[in-house]
Amino acid sequence: MRGRSLLIRGFILFTAIIFAARLFYIQILEEDYKVAAENNVVQKIVQYPFRGLVYDSNDSLVIYNSPVYDLMIVPKEAEIGDTTAFCDLLEIEKEQLKEKLNKAKNYSSILASKLIEQISEDLFAKLQDQLINYPGFYVLPRTIRSYNTESLANVVGYVGEVSSRELNRDTTNYYRSGDYIGIGGIEKSYEEYLRGRRGSSYKVVNVQGVIKGDYRDGEYDTLPKSGENIHLTIDLELQQYAEKLMEGKVGSVVAIEPKTGRILALVSAPSYDPQLLSGKNLSKNFPDLNNNKDKPLFNRPLQARYPPGSMFKTIQGIIAMHEEVVSANEIIRVDHSNIGDLAPPGPYDMVKAITKSSNNYFYLIMRRMVEQGAEESQFLDARIGLEKWRDYVKQFGLGRKLGVDLPNEITGNVPSLEYYDRVYGAKRWKYSNIASLSIGQGELLVTPLQMANLGAILANKGYFITPHVVDKIEGWPNPNIKKEVLPFNPELFEPVLFGMEQVVKGGSGIRGYLDTLKLAGKTSTVQNPHGEDHSGFMGFAPLDNPKISIAAYVENAGQGGRAAVSVASLLAEKYVLGKISRPWLETYVLEERYLPENAPRPTLAEN
């Protein structure tokens, strides 16, 4: 046993002597290595890829890359010498330099990090000649996003430096401190495609910071791979026109091609110029935008929640006919005894109820749906009826995410049994407690995107394609799109669509009527407990061959038959007919003449 122990110790000692001898030879005796070690260092230089370009639906370039330069430092190798001269060269104060040097050292003494990011081209030109005097510093080319339009901010999002929180959540271990990452919009949702892949090169650098050549002839170098280009579904010209119509207003416009789910325009008002959050502008402008009382960073089409109001009556009609609690031609006589109503009392069938927007008609047919006599108790019967009704409503894309390819989509709200149990107590509520749902009010909440998608469902008579803003990725179709077919006979849509046509021809939406456009839709005066009601409209055009469905919300603008239908009709005309033939309606929208204080005064002759 003792002999084995001595043998092991002897082997370890022998190995240590060999390593020590080799180290002595390399460091002391071998002159080539000694010279190399004294005069050169291998420096890893990260090569950042070009981020993918973004085009609109007509192949117009929307987002491209502009070159910028970061001044990098390797603290262990850094030699400044004359601090004053160095600060003058960099155009910064000594305190700023000290702070930046400490930050770099705290990050790593041997790894490169940014000393100054996105330096100007003039400063870059000066540095090129002077950096030879400052070992441990070098310039790294980068790119930032630039834009050919002041539109689309809430669609495209922006790019910024990856945060420590995002680094901690990065399960792929791809990102490093100082990397850029998509924040918001398609920059975030398509980050994996747009970012590309970093490369790296290893250079032999002498003590003066001069690159002497590739390390081992580039054996360990990897080339960067550019990000993939993306083509949007957005029609930039239509988008810009929609933003023009919404200028100075608060609200949303969403336009969808019904047969494909392609989003043609998506406007959140007010918005901002995307260039404000590009590069160094981000840190300067983000606080102001974020604190702005009108919330330009808030993506209203996906995140704002409104009661759908009378637009929801289209859904009610189809569900009721499907459940056979009413037929399209059944005459129901209504008075004003059940719920407040602007439609006159009298006989109504489905078409007339949609056209005149009879609250009491839809109150009665929803009561038939909820109270079907499945249980003797009104309370238990209401539970069964509401749950069935709720399942149908969610088929129309309400109360759930539609799966749009943009971040931060919310579900809206279709109230559940559990909600009413919490409010009123289990088995202590009945139809009279939830009747406001019948006219799209109460706890029912939708997003503008969901309403535009409802327009597409009605146009298609019972199906929709996942709404999306990206059409192609590097030439390949967007893979995240599916078709959803609703469980309703297409024939049930006919009376509802005819009623929607009459709304625009001679009802509350007549301001949007244009014979050659054939717009069909439903207006909503969306109740707002915090001030003036919101103006809402949902519809599509042309009726016989739908090419565009639109939802428009203009906050605090009053009746849906004024601002919202006007915006939607102009946008539909621009897309379908390619021109605007009603300058008076355009002026009405742009000058906000739908507001009482802006309405034109009658002339003496008119009096």
Which residues contact residue 512 at a Cβ distance below 8 angstroms, ignoring those fewer than 6 apart?
504, 519, 521, 537, 539, 565, 566, 568, 569
DSSP 155-193: HH-EEEEPPHHHHHH-TT----TT-EEEESHHHHHTHHH
| Structure confidence at residue 605 as a pLDDT band (50, 70, 90) | very low
- Omega before residue 542 within 30° of 0, cis: yes
Q: What is the pLDDT of residue 22?
A: 58
- % of the chain with per-residue pLDDT over 70: 92
pLDDT per residue as tens digits for the range 303-351 = 999 999 999 999 999 999 999 999 999 999 999 999 999 999 999 999 9
* CB 127, CB 203: distance < 8 Å: no
Is 96 part of any domain? yes
- The first and second tokens of residue 299, run together, are 């993506």
Write out the H or E segment, with its range, that includes residue 261: none
Strands 332-334 and 470-473: unpaired
- The first and second tokens of residue 426, run together, are 């289990």
Q: Count Cβ atoms below 10 Å from residue 482 Cβ, excluding itself.
A: 10
pLDDT score of 501 more than 80: yes
DSSP 390-426: HHHHHHTTTTS----SSTT----B---HHHHHHHH-T
- Domain residues for the domain of 95 are 44-232
Q: Count Cβ atoms below 10 Å from residue 375 Cβ, excluding itself.
A: 14
Strands 54-55 and 61-73: antiparallel
* Terminal alpha carbon distance of the chain: 123
Q: How long, in residues, is the chain? A: 607
> Which residues, in sequence order, are bridge partners of residue 184?
none
d(CA 350, CA 357): 10
pLDDT per residue as tens digits for the range 385-424 = 999 999 999 999 999 999 999 999 999 999 999 999 999 9
> Which residues, in sequence order, are bridge partners of residue 483?
465
Is 105 part of any domain? yes
The one-letter amino acid code at 24 reads F
Strands 137-147 and 61-73: antiparallel
CA-to-CA dists, residue 206 to 37, 43, 202, 209, 417, angstroms: 10, 10, 13, 5, 74
Q: What is the pLDDT of residue 121?
A: 79
| Structure confidence at residue 515 as a pLDDT band (50, 70, 90) | very high
d(CA 557, CA 248): 12
Q: Count Cβ atoms below 10 Å from residue 81 Cβ, excluding itself.
A: 10
Write out the H or E segment, with its range, that includes residue 358: none
pLDDT per residue as tens digits for the range 439-469 = 999 999 999 999 999 999 999 999 999 999 9
Which residues contact residue 541 at a Cβ distance below 8 angstroms, ignoring those fewer than 6 apart?
517, 518, 519, 520, 547, 548, 550, 572, 576
- Omega before residue 345 within 30° of 0, cis: no
CA-to-CA dists, residue 342 to 65, 97, 413, 590, angstroms: 55, 70, 26, 28
Mean pLDDT of the chain: 90
Strands 548-554 and 251-257: antiparallel
* CB 200, CB 221: distance < 8 Å: yes
Is 202 part of any domain? yes
CA-to-CA dists, residue 196 to 113, 179, 180, 273, 477, angstroms: 21, 12, 11, 25, 19
Is 110 part of any domain? yes
Q: What is the mean pLDDT of residues 12-20?
A: 68
d(CA 80, CA 78): 7
Q: Is 264 exposed, middle or buried (0-12, 13-18, 19+ CB in 10 A)?
A: buried
Is 523 part of any domain? no
Angle at 345 between CA 342 and CA 347, to 5 degrees: 130
- The first and second tokens of residue 562, run together, are 């004024």
- The predicted model scores a pTM of 0.88
Name the domain count of the chain.
Answer: 1
For tokens 């605090």, name the residue.
556
Q: What is the pLDDT of residue 545?
A: 96
pLDDT per residue as tens digits for the range 126-179 = 888 888 888 888 888 888 999 999 999 999 999 999 998 999 999 888 998 888
Is 571 part of any domain? no
Is 205 part of any domain? yes
Q: What is the mean pLDDT of residues 595-606?
A: 62
* CB 247, CB 269: distance < 8 Å: yes
CATH label of the domain that carries residue 174 = 3.90.1310.10
d(CA 386, CA 369): 8
DSSP 288-309: HHHH-TT-TTS-HHHH--B--G
Q: What is the pLDDT of residue 603?
A: 43
Q: Is 221 exposed, middle or buried (0-12, 13-18, 19+ CB in 10 A)?
A: middle
d(CA 563, CA 142): 46
pLDDT score of 482 more than 60: yes
pLDDT per residue as tens digits for the range 54-110 = 999 999 999 999 988 889 888 888 888 889 999 998 888 999 999 999 999 988 888
* CB 273, CB 153: distance < 8 Å: yes
Is 349 part of any domain? no
